[in-house]
Structure 1
């Protein structure tokens, strides 16, 4: 058996080292800003601009968390964001699944309706937010959770439909047809066969919808004021004419990471499977 060239053996030994170095660099790139944000949230105000930087505060404090959650109404914004984001995510996933199944199985609207649904996402928010504001004010739903849930559902539905449409389109019809032969109705075949098989894709679409709702700022800024404001709009209160409240902003940022991290951990298995099986393919 001929021996391998030395250059090939050298590259084979070098590949794991390069992969490890790349992963280590990427991990530092992600974790160092998060650590610095957490460090800023627990250190006294005098240490913000200290030279050299204070990486480990001598007297950690939680006063910034208390101020961000209560003095700046961050807790109220957090509750509003959870209610609005979860409600919009459920509606977007439910309506998106039904619409995508109809497009994929029955070719509803012909060949171009699915792309037309996605094209609604191409509209810049600044182009529709003023008419939406006027409509909301005339209907009396401005600065309400219901109004923002409606706007977020409209905002995330096109992407959810497109993701689920690609997922349903590549699923085989044989299992649903077998259920129909056994005497099941179309609804029973849909809920008991198609939906369980499409669960990873539904979870992937729901996670994307939740993140979009959770981090959305522009609609929340224009369509709310004092009652239904969300967590992202609270951050603007930390910047004023007399300076910036770095500790409070960092504390609220750490709090805002919690739901996204928990959701990512819980849905990791379904999310990875949903994406790799074609949930985002066109």
Structure 2
């Protein structure tokens, strides 16, 4: 392979990896918030699901206009943000199903031992859904390569 092909492969790998990390991290926090604090986010789940119904090609023109105005067109950061935005609903819904399986009683026990809500999330929930996070990251990484194939 030529040097240009290697550079293109490296750029794709870097942008997909960073976008996957952002999508899974934000999706994990959003899914946890939706499940453990349901009164505050009643309409959020429906809004998130409705965003998933739009085909990526339907929002390309507004995205190009927005990125041009923000000087993010033809940049790695713009591509990373676009990939993360398009995969965030999927990662949130997938991680949500893994967090649902974790009993809230485990977090209650952690709270008895004076652990904060975030501490219980980090030390109890995250280790229990580690496999689900890896599976979600794999699916998101694969889908980042297909989101803008029409462009």
Q: Could you say which TM-score interval applies, normalised by the shorter chain?
A: over 0.9
State the shift of 1:151 in Å. Answer: 0.3
TM-superposed CA distance for 1:191, in Å, is: 0.3
Find the counterpart in structure 2 of residue 75 from structure 1: 6
Give the structure 1 partner of residue 71 of structure 2. 140
Relative contact order: is structure 1 or structure 2 higher (C-alpha 8 Å, sep ≥ 6)?
2
Among 41, 44, 62, the residue aligned to 1:113: 44
Q: Look up the match of 1:185.
A: 116
Q: Secondary structure at the match of 2:145?
A: helix
Out of 132, 136, 143, which is 1:205 matched to?
136
In 2, Cα distance between equivalents of 1:102 and 1:216: 27
How far does residue 218 in structure 1 lie from its aligned partner after superposition? 3.3
What is the TM-score of this pair, normalised by structure 2? 0.93
TM alignment of 1:260-279, pairs within 5 A: none
2:30 equivalent in structure 1: 99
Question: TM-score normalised to the size of structure 1?
Answer: 0.51
The aligned length equals 150
Pairwise CA distance, 1:167: 1.6
Q: Which residue, 74, 96, 101 being the options, matches 1:165?
A: 96
Shift in alpha-carbon separation, 1:78–1:152, aligned structure 2, 3 A: same
CA offsets per residue over residues 192-237 of structure 1, 9 Å max, x none?
0011111111111111110011344337x3xxxxxxxxxxxxxxxx
Q: Determine the C-alpha separation between the residues in 2 that align with 1:159 and 1:109.
A: 18
CA-CA distance at 1:170 after TM superposition: 2.5
Unaligned runs of 5+ in 2: none
Equivalent residue of 1:218, what SS?
A: coil
Compare CA radii of gyration and give the structure with the larger one.
1
Q: Secondary structure at the match of 2:41?
A: coil
Deviations 1:4-62 (A, max 9, x none): xxxxxxxxxxxxxxxxxxxxxxxxxxxxxxxxxxxxxxxxxxxxxxxxxxxxxxxxxxx
Q: Distance in 2 between matches of 1:77 and 1:115?
A: 37
Q: In the alignment, does 2:107 pair up with 1:176?
A: yes
Higher helix share: 2
Query: Contact 2:67 / 2:73 at 8 angstroms: preserved in 1?
Result: yes
Uncovered stretches (5+) of structure 1, i.e. residues with no partner: 1-65, 222-282
